[in-house]
Amino acid sequence: MTRQTETICVVAACREKPGRETIAVEKAASKAEANAKKVADSLGLRLLELISIEKNISQDGSDIEVRVEATYRVSAFSQLRFDLRLLSRSRLFEFVRKELSMRWFQFHYRRLVAAPVDTPVVRPVRALVSGHFSVPGGGGTFGDIEAQEMACEWLAEAGIPFDVATNLEDGVEGIRLEDADPADYGIFIFVCGPWYPEKAIPSMLLRRYDHCLKIGLNLTTSHADQAGFDILLARDNPNEIRADIAFGKTVETVPVVGVLMVERQTAYGSRQRHLYVRQVFEEYLKTAHVAPVWLDTVIKNNKVGLRTGAEFESLLRKVDVLITNRLHGLVLGLKNSVPVVAVDSIAGGGKVTAQAKALGWPVLLPVEELDVEKLAETVQTCFEQGMKAGLEKSHRQGDDSIARTRSEFLEILRGFNRPESL
């Protein structure tokens, strides 16, 4: 029996110096194959074989550019399997993982606390900075991290060497609590957040570093005393309140990128590449020096809590660039003079491509050409150029088209013969 198969097409490019055409072709072909595997995986398909590959070499300034278009045979598409993959994106797994990791940490750390600490005769002049960002599943926040960075700045100002304890989850570089030797430290600092000394992990930390000068910094606690510390500089407790020290941390601002996605359009069947597009968006956002703002245009159960178009467009105007595979992301972004990096998730082009042409908007990435490098390059171009001329052209072209549609619509209504009233 002949197995059902389909095909996918990807495009990749590579730039090299003249004389390195063969190397450039190999690199572009390798990139195309990697992208094809990602596309197939995002659809729940198996990549079977390369059917054809076309190469085009052109001169671009002092470099040559090799562009390859590769077509692969893949296993047949199943809408049901595709929908099940969407369901697997639930946050339930992440919640369970964090809960189990915290419980495992408690179990493992309890044994370390029970072991005797080789207390030094003289306290080492070294501090260990910890917080909720140090405990697996602790859920450190951006405010926690800024408070930790502020504490570290003050330690450096005082000439005190230090280490930061990290859970390896919240973006903090440092040493794991399980690997930190208490004998190496003379100061133990727990910085920022709520503090309950009677609970398992706080009480274990206080016992393990009992020989240190224990400082509670920027904490909220219901205890009127020192809450287990030798010194407590509380953010708030029954006796005092202080400004959160994150208020004093200077932070570099970054460009704001709006992200608006649709993840399935069943009418397009196996031509849809939405999960691949999402994967590229997410990979780009992991390394890009930007602030992502996820947006949603769906009215019922809006993912970001927006209720009206006015709310959506008000938020949309705050972003510097919008990346989207939604038609109305493109339309509403340009309407509000926001540069849009439009991605058409449909192989061969769909309604996003058609609308970009209707509005005369040049920043359109076909899914066959999409990869992280191309997306990053296009977003950066929008940042640098501002796209003022392109936005003005889109407004003129869009307004002219709508005026024509309005005129034709009104003409139809005026020529409509209503039946006589009975």
Q: How many CB atoms within 10 Å of residue 404?
A: 10
Looking at the structure, do residues 45 and 114 belong to the same domain, yes or no? no
Rounded Cα distance between 257 and 40, Å, is 27
Q: What's the CATH number where 25 sits?
A: 3.30.110.170
What digits encode the pLDDT tens for the residues 337-366? 999 999 999 999 999 999 999 999 999 999
End-to-end, the C-alpha distance of the chain in Å comes to 67
Could you tell me if 212 and 182 are in contact, meaning their C-beta atoms sit under 8 angstroms apart? Answer: yes
Nearest to 325 by CA among 397, 393, 258, 256: 258
Tell whether 416 is covered by a domain.
no
Q: Is the pLDDT of residue 186 over 90?
A: yes
Looking at the structure, do residues 232 and 378 belong to the same domain, yes or no? no
Could you tell me if 35 and 70 are in contact, meaning their C-beta atoms sit under 8 angstroms apart? Answer: no
Which of residues 62, 85, 108 is at a domain's end?
85
Rounded Cα distance between 210 and 189, Å, is 12
Tell whether 265 is covered by a domain.
yes
Question: In total, how many domains does the chain have?
Answer: 3
Tokens found for residue 350: 């769909």
pLDDT at 310: 96
59 against 296, higher pLDDT: 296
Looking at the structure, do residues 120 and 60 belong to the same domain, yes or no? no
Looking at the structure, do residues 209 and 317 belong to the same domain, yes or no? no
What integer is the mean pLDDT of 94-104? Answer: 78
**Sheet of 321-324, strand order:** 291-295, 256-260, 321-324, 340-344, 364-366
What digits encode the pLDDT tens for the residues 359-414? 999 999 999 999 999 999 999 999 999 899 999 999 999 999 999 999 999 999 98
Q: Is the pLDDT of residue 113 over 90?
A: no
Looking at the structure, do residues 159 and 239 belong to the same domain, yes or no? yes
Rounded Cα distance between 234 and 244, Å, is 9
For residue 36, the enclosing domain spans: 5-85
- Residues facing 52 on adjacent strands: 71
What digits encode the pLDDT tens for the residues 267-310? 888 999 999 999 999 999 999 999 999 999 999 999 999 999 99
CA dihedral 265, 269, 274, 280 (to 10 degrees): -170
Could you tell me if 24 and 66 are in contact, meaning their C-beta atoms sit under 8 angstroms apart? Answer: yes
Which of residues 25, 51, 85 is at a domain's end?
85
